[in-house]
Homo-oligomer: A and B are copies of this chain.
């Protein structure tokens, strides 16, 4: 693979140098995107001429192997901020410095004003997030691999789902399969929601026992080299009722309409409408209470958004979820979620798992 980190760093410096002389990056996913460092504690300082990554002693070996000579490395024993205050005075030409306004707490902002009073500090919006919105070919490949892991794990799990298991036990089977297939972690807490609990769009997996007639919704992801996938399928325990089948078919067709109709250049709300219009036409509009989807990458929720209020246009290279659903209190819920890469040539499906209604014994 081409090493794109240098180009990413250069793009960020180009983005901020009209406004500030240097910039502090404190979001860990942003630091990973720019440098490849995957540790849990770091600060990155960039200016036109210099790059400094500060981390703690636990990552002494790891940081050197992950970032090589992409940036000067400084290891701190007590506080990363000590490192920053040691480095900044050595850098020439710094007057106004930027920081990530969404990733610096008020307490840390006070630190900048107090210990860093010789510089002027200026909040910066989502500069790195903007770069991350369009994935390059390497990133799409990693998300595809994360999607493949999730799909293989689901295929191994479905034969084991049955009445009498708890939601937690089903999660255990699924997560075991995810690990066996190589998932490095769980991008978000696995959701297994059955019966009336499936009506909660953000249900937590519980000790409820699966029963005949239940809708069972599995929403989970895999992680591969830091990149996430996110997929949902819904099953029925036993034979589906006519009502379940009707609602399921509406969700499936809405998912298909959005997957085939989505294009770069569209707004997030136009993409959302591809599925929503279909669901509304079939009389379930009120039951689809969330947006159609969100970007995925190093984080499981990132730009762009697909929702009624999302006016931004979808860039070439975005990877998004498409996840229409129908939820009714007491009755349950159905959601079918896929991951799609928005290439210049049209949408490319990453989560290749069947969408036919599966009735498990």
Give me the interface of A with B, judged by CB distance under 8 Å: 38-40, 57-59, 61-62, 78, 99, 101-107, 109-110, 123, 168-169, 171-173, 175-180, 182-186, 189, 200-202, 204-207, 289-290, 309, 329
Complex: how many Å from CA A103 to CA B103? Answer: 10
From the candidates B59, B175, B177, name the one contacting A179 in the complex (CB within 8 A): B175
* Interchain residue pairs with CB less than 8 A apart (11): A58-B201, A58-B290, A61-B329, A102-B107, A104-B105, A104-B106, A105-B105, A172-B179, A172-B180, A184-B204, A186-B189
Contact B182 A172 (CB under 8 A): no
Instruction: Write out the residue numbers on chain B whose beta carbons fall within 8 Å of the beta carbon of A189.
Output: 185-186
Complex: how many Å from CA A290 to CA B59? Answer: 12
From the candidates B105, B180, B202, B207, name the one contacting A103 in the complex (CB within 8 A): B105
Complex: how many Å from CA A110 to CA B125? Answer: 12
Complex: how many Å from CA A201 to CA B189? Answer: 24
From the candidates B57, B106, B168, name the one contacting A183 in the complex (CB within 8 A): B168
Complex: how many Å from CA A179 to CA B201? Answer: 21
Instruction: Write out the residue numbers on chain B whose beta carbons fall within 8 Å of the beta carbon of A57.
Output: 289
A324 CB to closest chain B CB (Å) equals 15
Instruction: Write out the residue numbers on chain B whose beta carbons fall within 8 Å of the beta carbon of A173.
Output: 176
Q: Taking the full assembly, how many copies of this chain does it contain? A: 2
| A183 to chain B: closest residue by CB | B168
A187 CB to closest chain B CB (Å) equals 11
Instruction: Write out the residue numbers on chain B whose beta carbons fall within 8 Å of the beta carbon of A109.
Output: 106, 109
Instruction: Write out the residue numbers on chain B whose beta carbons fall within 8 Å of the beta carbon of A104.
Output: 105-106
Contact B200 A184 (CB under 8 A): no
| A199 to chain B: closest residue by CB | B61
Complex: how many Å from CA A189 to CA B202? Answer: 21
Instruction: Write out the residue numbers on chain B whose beta carbons fall within 8 Å of the beta carbon of A58.
Output: 200-202, 289-290
| A185 to chain B: closest residue by CB | B189
Q: Kindly list the 9 A-B residue pairs having the minimum CB-CB distance in the complex, ordered from nearest.
A: A172-B179, A176-B176, A101-B107, A172-B176, A101-B106, A106-B109, A102-B107, A104-B106, A168-B179
Besides A102-B105, A107-B123, 5 more A-B contacts (Cβ < 8 Å) are A172-B175, A182-B207, A184-B205, A185-B204, A185-B205
| A103 to chain B: closest residue by CB | B105
Instruction: Write out the residue numbers on chain B whose beta carbons fall within 8 Å of the beta carbon of A202.
Output: 39-40, 58-59
Instruction: Write out the residue numbers on chain B whose beta carbons fall within 8 Å of the beta carbon of A39.
Output: 202
Contact A180 B168 (CB under 8 A): yes
A177 CB to closest chain B CB (Å) equals 8
Complex: how many Å from CA A309 to CA B202? Answer: 41
Instruction: Write out the residue numbers on chain B whose beta carbons fall within 8 Å of the beta carbon of A182.
Output: 168, 207
A105 CB to closest chain B CB (Å) equals 5
Instruction: Write out the residue numbers on chain B whose beta carbons fall within 8 Å of the beta carbon of A184.
Output: 168, 204-206
Instruction: Write out the residue numbers on chain B whose beta carbons fall within 8 Å of the beta carbon of A61.
Output: 200, 329
